[in-house]
């Protein structure tokens, strides 16, 4: 076993200085076509949480643009929000959480490309690209960043899987909206302000493609994950214990040996990636080595069987050194990569929501593939499985192991945050729409059932808490008895 070489690589990486971050530029592609509403809201940030936001906007009584869908990274809603948003929580005796909203017609522009990018947009350090209402191709699939049906704008608010302090954008310090459910968890009494973390709990998992599953890769621990971040691939021996699985691709060429397990995953703007790094000894602001499945965008038809370094096939990297720090712009694309029928064992990290089709892709993917997707599987993290019932046949999705998250056994999770922009968010977004959306999202989380599956968790149901991203869980959470 070449453990000495691998440990030396890990030690070297842990001693590296923080990598400089690329300065993103913004270019206005076209003039915004004004909506026929009185208020515009621009939401950026976490791709892992976009389906919850989609559902929440529906609950507010808003209507999506033609052809928009919850799986899109860009979508737009219009309408007049409900004047009384209600969420029933799972906390016994708490009744309902409500937010009264004014009778204001709104257009809500959403564009998701990662938690750190959202924080940067909310801090006023970059614009994001949004869908033109009534413009050419509205509701369709867009090229990024230059496409005539997109316009650039500052964000009004941003969802993030991690705290602002966990990103490289620590100034200006952004205000955030904390859900009533989170505040109640902290204070123990409805309406009493206490220490609450964000909106709800967002769980993540590690998953393996079919080739890795066939090689008996079933678990990943913090040490294995750190080695992957350093090297991009790790000998299969580290999973199987078989001394014959000892291949080492020390030159990091464009091919990975069959006795290697490759890492694929998100770009540098991802809160999922930051959370995955926090749970290992690896510094979260240091570049990582990972492979990208050679494809274009999220179109599975463009995926190739081989793995290559860097931003191949049109996948854009936001790193100063794209050759060792590329990544997909959403967890959905990571899921596509892990379901492609490639011969190289590969593992990746993504949210519960984005991963839900991996065990049974044929039940969810009906178009866009020129080849049949192949099921992978979810890995236990530090010996604890993220699911209790597998998906197959009529069982469309897995039943996730929510109890393990709630009780502190499964630790790959973070708090979801809703940050307000440093400028331009005062008034209606802060006092009305933002709190209303938070209640709507809590309502959606509370309505989930295991077979859906559950992809976010109410803080009021957690028996543990943590005071910082990646920090140890505190058990018990005295406010969740």
Structure token digits, residue 348:
């990746």
The first and second tokens of residue 147, run together, are 């496409």
% of the chain surpassing 90 pLDDT: 33
Angle at 415 between CA 413 and CA 418, to 5 degrees: 145
Angle of the 434-447 helix axis to the 50-59 helix axis, nearest 10: 110
pLDDT digits over 391-427, tens only? 987 788 999 999 999 999 999 999 999 999 998 888 8
> Of 133 and 3, which is predicted with more confidence?
133
- Pairwise CA distance, residues 46 & 278, whole Å: 17
Exposed e or buried b for every residue in 365-401, given b needs 16+ CB within 10 A? Answer: beeebeeebbbbbbbbbbeebbbeeebeeeebbbbbb
Most confident option among 281-290, 330-339, 430-439: 430-439
Query: What pLDDT digit, counting tens, does each position of 156-200 carry?
Result: 999 999 999 998 898 999 999 988 888 777 665 544 444 568 899
- The whole model's pTM is what? 0.85
Element (H, E) at 6: helix 3-14
Residue with tokens 């331009």: 424
* Residues 56-69 pLDDT 10s: 999 899 998 877 77
Torsion of CA 456, 293, 326, 276, to 10 degrees: 30
pLDDT band at 252 (very low <50, low <70, confident <90, very high): very low
Q: How far is CA 179 from CA 185, 244, 429, in A?
A: 10, 52, 15
Summarised one tens digit per residue, pLDDT across range 423-467 is 888 889 999 999 999 989 988 898 888 888 999 998 888 888 888
Average of pLDDT values for 76-89?
83
């Amino acid at each position: 076993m070449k453990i000495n070489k691998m440990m030396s690589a890990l030690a070297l990486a842990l001693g590296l200085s923080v990598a400089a971050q690329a300065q993103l530029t913004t270019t206005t592609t076209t003039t915004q076509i004004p909506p026929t509403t009185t208020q515009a809201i621009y939401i950026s940030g976490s791709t892992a949480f976009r389906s919850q936001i989609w559902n929440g906007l529906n609950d507010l009584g808003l209507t999506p643009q033609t052809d928009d869908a919850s799986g899109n990274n860009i979508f737009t809603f219009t309408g007049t929000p409900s004047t009384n948003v209600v969420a029933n929580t799972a906390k016994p005796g708490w009744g309902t959480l409500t937010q009264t909203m004014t009778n204001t017609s709104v257009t809500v522009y959403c564009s998701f490309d990662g938690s750190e990018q959202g924080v940067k947009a909310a801090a006023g350090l970059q614009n994001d690209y949004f869908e033109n209402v009534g413009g050419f191709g509205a509701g369709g699939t867009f090229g990024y960043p230059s496409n005539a049906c997109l316009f650039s704008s500052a964000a009004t608010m941003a969802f993030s899987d991690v705290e602002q302090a966990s990103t490289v954008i620590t100034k200006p310090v952004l205000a955030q909206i904390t859900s009533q459910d989170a505040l109640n968890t902290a204070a123990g009494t409805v309406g009493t302000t206490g220490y609450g973390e964000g909106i709800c709990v967002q769980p993540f998992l590690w998953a393996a493609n079919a080739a890795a599953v066939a090689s008996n890769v079933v678990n990943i621990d913090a040490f294995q994950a750190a080695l992957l971040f350093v090297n991009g691939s790790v000998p299969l021996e580290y999973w199987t214990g078989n001394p014959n699985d000892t291949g080492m691709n020390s030159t990091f060429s464009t091919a990975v040996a069959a006795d290697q397990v490759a890492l694929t995953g998100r770009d540098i703007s991802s809160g999922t990636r930051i959370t995955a790094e926090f749970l290992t000894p690896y510094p979260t602001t240091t570049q990582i080595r990972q492979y990208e499945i050679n494809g274009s965008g999220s179109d599975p038809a463009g995926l190739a069987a081989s793995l290559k370094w860097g931003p191949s096939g049109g996948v854009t990297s936001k790193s100063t050194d794209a050759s060792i720090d590329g990544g997909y712009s959403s967890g959905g694309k990571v899921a596509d990569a892990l379901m492609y029928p490639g011969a190289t064992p590969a593992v990746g990290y993504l949210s519960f929501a984005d991963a839900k089709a991996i065990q049974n892709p044929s039940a969810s993917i009906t178009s866009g593939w020129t080849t049949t997707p192949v099921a992978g599987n979810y890995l236990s993290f530090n010996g604890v499985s993220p699911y209790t019932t597998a998906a197959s046949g009529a069982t469309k999705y897995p039943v996730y192991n929510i109890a393990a998250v709630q009780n502190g056994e499964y630790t790959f999770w973070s708090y979801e945050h809703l940050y307000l922009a440093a400028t331009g968010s005062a008034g209606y977004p802060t006092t009305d729409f933002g709190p209303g959306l938070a209640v709507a999202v809590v309502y959606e989380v509370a309505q989930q059932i295991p077979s859906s599956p559950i992809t976010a968790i109410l803080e009021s149901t957690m028996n543990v808490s943590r005071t910082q991203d990646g920090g140890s869980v505190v058990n018990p959470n005295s406010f969740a008895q």
